[in-house]
Structure 1
């Protein structure tokens, strides 16, 4: 087989020849983004030499983890820290998340980068707990984020989903937190497609009813809500929701299937962004938003629309394992020297899935050094016995 062609395994078991791209995409823009506020939810880099087990605390390579955040900031993106992309509740415990928040916030301050950090209740054992315990857990995490100088993102709580008896419990807990928040926060509605334990959040399995509760919480505290992050993978619902937000409250799309159209917007408004897929897409996403900054919507869509196929592939069901593809692409791109994840989640996606991710990302020109990406892909295929 020619060295310019690589055999990639397909879902049906066959091998298909693929000719890797020779040159990367070369984004030309620098400086801040002006027309949209854009956060990339960043992954953590595991320490591959740590002697850990799936049940032990995560071992993080702090140098590589912080270097990746500097990479995102250098392109003008904000960093959404300690979110689900960083494997909150999937390998990274609260102690590890707290250290990640403190280190990343200090790094953001040093380089002038924008940062928002996740506040949850994952220090609670099990899935439930009393409402008092849930409030206290949220308060502990909110204090860590505020003391670090970062903006807070109030994340959905598995414990609250398990304990709440109805909408009034959500209103009480969130109202309590918003009243005491020092600065406006981002409220995150993460749907069950990302985390099945969040089914029925806001007190109802009916999304229309849940939306009304969500909006009532925001309307009661508009001065304490900077914006909302919506991760329901339902573009129509997000558009309807953002049109009903109080003046000054932003919508940050978390829809990794429909983000180009939602960020571009329409005559009645647009979404900002807080996206896990902007981890691997960082430089390209920033280039697209800079194009949008000039008013060139068509140019923005021309850059970003072709990335949706990769995003839909990474986020295919079971969606919560999208992190595996994100870390895999970071390895191929040279942002880390290994393909290892906290909790051993590098095994959560199949070889054909990873091969397709490589092909789609390479086709977009995402790898700064395509030859290195190809060599690393070949090394993974060699381990699995794929012929050259």
Structure 2
């Protein structure tokens, strides 16, 4: 059955759109070669929980963990309890801790690759922490992950950004944590477009100076650093830092605007991936990385090219609202039965934004079942008063 939808434009006029314009990709099975590809995974809220959704993150564990199994089945790795899971933006530390515990157990049951976010959100919110308290919070969360066999992603800390006075404070805190971890970690540099509370991270607002501080930390503890994920949406800065990393330390791109060229790389190196957009474009991402592993750059480019417009749309300003588009994609594709989010974040994007997202996803072949996607889009339109 073919559905033709009446989609709104800004101002209220409607236009007809018939889904099914893209070619749906069936990703090949088997492990990916040549690049490590982490998808930062979203959580599915429990729509039937009676708890206040603004203050208590009720999670549908079955649907949330099933999505992780889906990502592993494609050959992707899972980056757990990160900002894509609404960490610090709806998902508090008690829920993140349970999410980490459950996901690690699921990963071990199927041999799925996983790394988990350790931060400082166990500290009381709204209070000014000391550097010692920041260290203690990091220590607690790293120990929790490592004691369960997990790899740590050392997340950027709002509490550290608030209390650090100089770059030396960052070097002191990171040096303390890196000297204690039992296996190499992935560092995490999240730009303030993703989280305004992280402005000035590493001790200054000049990105080149901040990069120098971060590189000093990495060089001093290179044996404890697997790699660094940077999300600055600045390909030039990423390439510059990538070329300055010590041998053996990986760059994981977090650039949801420029990931195809950064992952492909150049004559001096390439980036692995740790991306929120890979949650939304998982089958195409897996197929593209697989093609690159077979040295088929033409297919790699052809697969990724139509996803870039979709990703730039999902991550448009305010960038931190991208989680709404990620969950909307999961809803359209039948990975969850509803379009609800913890913290009520489904309301963070307009109906115009969601309609454009639908069209871009369809043209990129990312609506696996156009009929199901159209039916679900129709429900969302009805809620906006478009029958």
TM-score, normalised via structure 1 length:
0.97
Structure 1 counterpart of 2:84: 85
Matches within 5 A, 1:10-25: 10-21=9-20, 25=24
Conservation of the 8 A alpha-carbon contact between 1:23 and 1:370: no
Indicate the larger mover: 334-343 or 295-304: 295-304
SS in 1 for 2:228: strand
Conservation of the 8 A alpha-carbon contact between 1:39 and 1:79: yes
Show CA shifts across 1:288-329 (max 9, x none): 000000112222111101100000000000000100010011
Structure 2 counterpart of 1:257: 257
Structure 1 counterpart of 2:284: 284
Distance in 2 (CA, whole Å) between partners of 1:128 and 1:206 is 24
Show CA shifts across 1:12-38 (max 9, x none): 332121111077513241111110000
Segments of 5+ residues of structure 1 without an aligned counterpart are none
Structure 2 counterpart of 1:318: 318
Indicate the larger mover: 125-134 or 108-117: 125-134
Structure 2 counterpart of 1:382: 382
Distance in 1 (CA, whole Å) between partners of 2:13 and 2:120 is 45
SS in 1 for 2:286: helix
Conservation of the 8 A alpha-carbon contact between 1:24 and 1:370: no
Shift of 1:91: 0.5
SS in 2 for 1:118: strand
What value does the CA root-mean-square deviation take over the aligned residues? 1.3
Matches within 5 A, 1:265-280: 265-280=265-280
Distance in 1 (CA, whole Å) between partners of 2:268 and 2:315 is 29
Conservation of the 8 A alpha-carbon contact between 1:11 and 1:353: no
Shift of 1:3: 6.0
Indicate the larger mover: 8-17 or 293-302: 8-17
SS in 2 for 1:53: coil
Conservation of the 8 A alpha-carbon contact between 1:24 and 1:368: no
Matched, 1:355 2:355: yes
TM-score, normalised via structure 2 length:
0.98
SS in 2 for 1:188: strand
Distance in 2 (CA, whole Å) between partners of 1:121 and 1:298 is 43
Structure 2 counterpart of 1:27: 26
Matches within 5 A, 1:318-337: 318-337=318-337
Conservation of the 8 A alpha-carbon contact between 2:36 and 2:272: yes
Distance in 2 (CA, whole Å) between partners of 1:302 and 1:365 is 12
Indicate the larger mover: 47-56 or 329-338: 47-56
Structure 1 counterpart of 2:238: 238
The list of structure 1 runs, each at least 4 consecutive aligned residues, that deviate by more than 6 angstroms after superposition, is: none
SS in 1 for 2:251: strand
Shift of 1:147: 1.6
Segments of 5+ residues of structure 2 without an aligned counterpart are none
SS in 2 for 1:16: strand
Matched, 1:204 2:204: yes
Structure 2 counterpart of 1:293: 293
Distance in 2 (CA, whole Å) between partners of 1:107 and 1:127 is 35
Task: Indicate how the Cα distance of structure 1 residues 153 and 127 shifts in structure 2: closer, same or farther if over 3 A, else same.
Answer: farther
Distance in 1 (CA, whole Å) between partners of 2:326 and 2:127 is 27
SS in 1 for 2:7: strand
Conservation of the 8 A alpha-carbon contact between 2:153 and 2:187: yes
Distance in 2 (CA, whole Å) between partners of 1:244 and 1:102 is 35
Matches within 5 A, 1:115-264: 115-124=114-123, 125-126=125-126, 128-264=128-264
Shift of 1:53: 2.0
SS in 2 for 1:67: helix
Distance in 2 (CA, whole Å) between partners of 1:269 and 1:286 is 20
Task: Indicate how the Cα distance of structure 1 residues 286 and 3 shifts in structure 2: closer, same or farther if over 3 A, else same.
Answer: closer
Matches within 5 A, 1:101-112: 101-112=100-111
Structure 1 counterpart of 2:5: 6
Conservation of the 8 A alpha-carbon contact between 2:42 and 2:327: yes
Distance in 1 (CA, whole Å) between partners of 2:315 and 2:241 is 23
